[in-house]
């Protein structure tokens, strides 16, 4: 069976002190939970401090991005080896904000996913359509292309989590309905089945992101192909985030 996963993407929020306080509250609140994984993705500046807090606990550390080289003259970038050095076991790749503001293409996402997994980081690869693409009825074309190109050349999915995050649902308060989300999750799993075979597709975790709260997670997580959540805004408040984790773990 697939294990659930709930990841908090803190984006460009929280000082080191704020990050430490939030990580402590989440670590304490999530202690004893079983059958799944809680992941925190603070900004780069707080990774080492949050690692100190969660070390020895089941909570895992993620970065929000990386550059797909070990080291070199790439001013302003951070390598997967550096992320591992500060305690990361996960990295978010291809978030829609990276695609939109920093012009990341599917081919960049692919390079990063390949490099991250080669370095034994678990890549949380984000995909999702815009509202205009949904209105035009091309959601599956867009998401299919993002998944296929993003995974191009990957021999297996062992260190890959896919996050379906419709762009129109991110930070807007406009969450996808459980049926809308399930439809795309089911489509992605079907695509993985064709590309990697049944057992790999069944084992790969596909999580939903976009305006998830503790009030709407229950109906989403009840869907067959939704294995957890990637949470932005609601991950910045310990009680909200813990509520999402509790509902996920009791449903799965």
Binding residues for ligand PGA, rule: CB under 6 A, are: 9, 165, 170-171, 209-212, 230-234
**Which residue number, 130 or 152, has a Cβ lying nearer to ligand PGA?**
130
**Which residue number, 80 or 94, has a Cβ lying nearer to ligand PGA?**
94
Q: How many whole angstroms separate alpha carbon 185 and alpha carbon 206?
A: 7
Work out how close the CB of 97 gets to ligand PGA at its nearest, in angstroms, rounded to a whole number.
Answer: 7
**Which residue number, 191 or 230, has a Cβ lying nearer to ligand PGA?**
230
Q: Is 51 a catalytic residue?
A: no
3-state secondary structure of 160: strand
Q: Is 165 a catalytic residue?
A: yes
Kindly give, in sequence order, each residue whose CB lies less than 8 Å from that of residue 200, ignoring residues fewer than 6 positions away: 156, 157, 192
Work out how close the CB of 48 gets to ligand PGA at its nearest, in angstroms, rounded to a whole number.
Answer: 23
Work out how close the CB of 75 gets to ligand PGA at its nearest, in angstroms, rounded to a whole number.
Answer: 26
Cβ(87)–Cβ(106) under 8 Å? no
**Which residue number, 26 or 201, has a Cβ lying nearer to ligand PGA?**
26
Kindly give, in sequence order, each residue whose CB lies less than 8 Å from that of residue 192, ignoring residues fewer than 6 positions away: 147, 157, 162, 200, 201, 204
Q: How many whole angstroms separate alpha carbon 131 and alpha carbon 167?
A: 7
**Which residue number, 104 or 165, has a Cβ lying nearer to ligand PGA?**
165
Catalytic residue among 51, 97, 165, 185: 165
| Run of H or E including 225 | none
Q: How many whole angstroms separate alpha carbon 230 and alpha carbon 40?
A: 10
Q: How many whole angstroms separate alpha carbon 234 and alpha carbon 237?
A: 6
Cβ(225)–Cβ(178) under 8 Å? no
Work out how close the CB of 124 gets to ligand PGA at its nearest, in angstroms, rounded to a whole number.
Answer: 9
Work out how close the CB of 164 gets to ligand PGA at its nearest, in angstroms, rounded to a whole number.
Answer: 11
3-state secondary structure of 89: coil
Catalytic residue among 51, 95, 97, 133: 95
Q: How many whole angstroms separate alpha carbon 154 and alpha carbon 200?
A: 12
What are the residue numbers of the active site?
95, 165
């Amino acid at each position: 069976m697939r294990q659930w996963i709930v990841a908090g993407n803190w984006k460009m929020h929280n000082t080191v002190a704020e990050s430490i306080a939030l990580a402590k509250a989440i670590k304490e609140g999530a202690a004893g939970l079983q059958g799944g994984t809680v992941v925190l993705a603070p900004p780069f500046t707080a990774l080492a401090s949050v690692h100190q807090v969660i070390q020895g606990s089941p909570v895992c550390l993620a970065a929000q991005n990386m550059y797909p080289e070990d080291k070199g003259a790439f001013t302003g970038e951070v390598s997967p080896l550096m992320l591992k050095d500060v305690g990361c076991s996960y990295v978010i790749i291809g978030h829609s904000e990276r695609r939109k503001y920093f012009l990341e293409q599917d081919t960049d996402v692919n390079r990063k996913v390949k490099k991250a997994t080669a370095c034994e980081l678990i890549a949380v690869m984000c995909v999702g359509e815009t509202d205009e693409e949904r209105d035009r009825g091309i959601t599956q074309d867009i998401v299919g292309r993002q998944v296929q190109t993003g995974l191009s050349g990957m021999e297996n999915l062992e260190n890959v989590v896919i996050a379906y995050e419709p762009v129109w649902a991110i930070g807007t308060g406009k969450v996808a309905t459980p049926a809308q989300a399930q439809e795309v999750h089911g489509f992605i799993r079907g695509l993985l089945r064709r590309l990697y075979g049944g057992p790999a597709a069944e084992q790969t975790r596909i999580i939903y992101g976009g305006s998830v709260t503790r009030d709407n997670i229950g109906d989403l997580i009840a869907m067959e192909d939704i294995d957890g959540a990637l949470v932005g805004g609601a991950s910045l408040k310990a009680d909200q985030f813990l509520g999402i984790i509790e509902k996920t773990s009791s449903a799965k």
